[in-house]
Amino acid sequence: MRSRIGRRILAGYLAVSVLLACLLAASASAGSWVVHVARRVDQANRAAGRVLLALAVVERRLFTVLLRAADASAGPDEEQLLARVLSLQLERLSRDPDLFPDEARQEADRLRDVGSACGRTVQEFLVAPPQAARQPASVLACHRQLGSLLERRLERVRQVEEAAASQLQAVQRSAWLPGFLRNLARNTERAQRLGQAVLASLEFERRFWKRLSSTLLRAKDPQAPPATDGLRLLEEVERLAPSPEARAATSGLRAAASRVEAHLVRLAAPASMRAMVADAGQVVARLEALRPLLEVERDRALEEAEVVNQSVVSFVQTFSTAAVAALLVGFLVLLALTRSMTASLEALREAMERVRDGQLDVRVDVGRRRDETAEMARVFNHMVSELQESRQRLHAYQEELQRRVEERTRALQEAQAQLLQAEKLSAVGELVAGVAHELNNPLTSVLGYAQLLESDSALPDDLRSYAEVVVREADRARQIVHSLLTFARPQPVEREVLDLNEAVRQALEIPRWEWGQVQVVPRLHPEPLWVQANAVQLQQVFTNIVQNALQAMRGGPGSLFVTTGRAGDRAVVQFEDTGPGIPPEHLTRVFDPFFTTKKLGEGTGLGLSISFGIVRDHGGTIRARNRPEGGACFTVELPLSDPPAASP
């Protein structure tokens, strides 16, 4: 036992040591990964800046070409300079492995080809004679094609940047990660914001030149699409780079751009066009002053973050190595200590095995010992005693729970049956109302003419007897139709607080119920059972139930027990007879309209259906079942009400 305990302790310590070493190694690797992702974000940001710079040059060159076409006094120097700059930019971009890896070499070649073709198209457009009605469609098409290629590459670069940035944000939001990893990801926030500010300034320059080109085009062709204003990007630059120098440069840039916007309104005048070009130069100058400032701040922030991140990663790697060495030393020390353990747990193990087999009467004899094993044995004995008591309580609780489940199941089944019955009565009621209405008028005519024939003295006796049969049967049919209308469209009745015992007592006093050898035994509750109901309707319900019971026991002696009582907040009336009972296959249909087991002519099958509707309208329930000792039992439950107020 002792050696097994020692091996388990050593194995557990070794497992924990290996797990801790793995966690430390994973932390060091995660730190290096965070630094790598931060570098990827910066590389993608710089690549996006190079693409945006090329797009800005494309738009500026297009503006210069359109300006020369609109103003012959504009010199060709700027256009030629921009052409050389754009050519160099495209050549550098095509050789950039971050933008065009090996699998995208065809796209890089296409970019250079489109740039060269665009340069030739611009030269052909500029050398055309002024009287030849120059059309800038070909120039616009080549520049748009070139811009589309660059924008496609820009979108891919930004996807890489957004994916890497989302990884850093996920690390920052993960509260379960070590704090140093979240701090590593957070160290690059300022550099990322400044990088986004640089991109925003480049995007502003691109949109600025695009808007100027669009304005020149709309001056000749009002159908040309307008370009969007990019002044909001300056607000983004101020938000991302909140230094005083950046704010001052951005404010001056916004003022110069606003002056250019003012010239665009009256661009038709040559003086306004030259003033616009001059102010556009001011915008370019201020952009060239703002962008190096942002880039310097970004590079400084990146250097600071790089130094901090490398220091943290180096510290974590060193700490991980030292921790692994300490774990190995601790393992050797623990190996020496486990050899000196002398406590025996054999008796406790055997007792636990017996408890596992279900023997909860086992106890461990600890004597007068005070060591850790004895204390564990005392706790074990106390636990077994509580388990034994809990088992007894659990058995009792299971029996009670089973009883309650059975009661609730029966209640749910009864509620479901009541709901199903109500739905059937509603559906049949709609049908019955229409049929009864259609039958009532012809029956009235038949009955009227039959009564005339019956009262005619000149009619022979045999025909008068036939007329009597018609009158009797038509009157019977009219009563059935009246019952149908009563079932389908119950009329609103007034209700009052009354004693249920008194309603039952009055219903049992009708002489026609004292048939044959049937004995009616009332067992009424000693106290009044107050309910809010209509006395006539309740008597109709009780009359139908008692009449069915007496008819079921008509063939011989029997007893009908009428019992009233209280069940919580409801009053209960039970009608129990000693008759043959209800066949099991009919129990679910006794409240269905027109269902009856009586002979033809003895009933319409509407009595219990009408009773069901009356009880339901009173907020109660009515159920039917067979008694175990024989006979049927109908139970009516109604909600109790407050006693009536005493008369003054």
Q: What is the tens place of the pLDDT at every residue in 347-402?
A: 777 777 777 777 777 777 766 766 666 777 778 777 878 887 887 888 888 888 88
**35-49, 133-147, 266-280, 395-409: least confident range:** 266-280
Q: What is the pLDDT of residue 640?
A: 92
C-alpha distance from residue 111 to each of 56, 130, 160 (Å): 16, 31, 21
Which residue among 328, 343, 362 closes a domain?
328
Rounded average pLDDT over 10-24 = 73
Q: Tell me the three state secondary structure of residue 96.
A: coil
Token pair belonging to 380: 């074990």
The C-alpha atoms of residue 112 and residue 149 are separated, in whole angstroms, by: 10
Q: What are 232's two structure tokens?
A: 């909001």
Asked if the structure places residue 108 within a domain, the reply is yes
Maximum CA extent, the chain: 135
Encoded amino acid at 210, one letter: K
Structure token digits, residue 443: 């029956």
pLDDT of residue 636: 93
Domain membership flag for residue 9: yes
**φ and ψ of 340, to 5 deg:** -95, 5
pLDDT for 531: 93
Q: What angle do CA 168, 169, 174 make, to 5 degrees?
A: 100
What integer is the mean pLDDT of 413-431? 60
Q: Give the whole-angstrom CA distance, residue 83 versus residue 184.
A: 43
Question: pTM of the prediction?
Answer: 0.48
d(CA 554, CA 177): 86
174/355 Cα distance (integer angstroms):
45
Q: What percent of the chain shows pLDDT beyond 70?
A: 77
Tell me which of 299, 328, 357 is where a domain ends.
328
Q: Which of 185-194, 268-277, 498-507 has the lowest mean pLDDT?
A: 268-277
Overall average pLDDT of the 200-212 stretch: 84
| d(C-alpha 195, C-alpha 191), whole Å | 6
For the stretch 515-564, pLDDT in tens is 567 788 899 999 999 999 988 888 888 888 888 888 888 767 888 899 99
Please state, in angstroms and rounded to a whole number, the distance separating the CA atoms of residues 2 and 18.
Answer: 24
Is pLDDT of 333 > 50? yes
Q: Regarding beta strands 530-533 and 621-626, do their DSSP bridges make them parallel or antiparallel, or are they unpaired?
A: unpaired
DSSP code for 571? E
pLDDT of residue 565: 94
Q: How far is CA 542 from CA 66, 498, 598, 636, 637, in A?
A: 103, 15, 19, 9, 12
Any domain includes 452: no
Per-position DSSP letters for 240-281, written without gaps between them:
H---HHHHHHHHHHHHHHHHHHHHHHTTTSHHHHHHHHHHHH
Q: Is 184 within a domain?
A: yes
Give the H or E element holding residue 564: strand 558-567
Query: Which of residues 294, 328, 362 is at a domain's end?
Result: 328
Q: What is the CATH number of the domain that holds 594?
A: 3.30.565.10
Cβ atoms < 10 Å from Cβ of 599: 7
Decide: 60 and 82 in contact? Cβ < 8 Å. yes
What number is the average pLDDT over the span 155-183? Answer: 81
Which long-range contacts link 357-365 to residues 24+ away (Cβ below 8 Å)?
Answer: 360/384, 360/387, 360/388, 360/391, 361/388
| Bridge partner list, 398 | none
Residue 440: inside a domain: no
Asked whether residue 548 is domain-assigned, the answer is yes
**CA 323 from chain center: how many Å?**
46
CA distance 224 to 579: 99
Residue 579 lies in a domain: yes
Residue 25 pLDDT greater than 70, yes or no? yes
Domain span at 508:
493-648
Q: How many domains does the chain have?
A: 2
- The percent of the chain in helix, strand and coil, each rounded to the nearest 5, is 70, 5, 20
Residue 408 falls inside a structural domain: no
Length of the chain counted residue by residue: 648
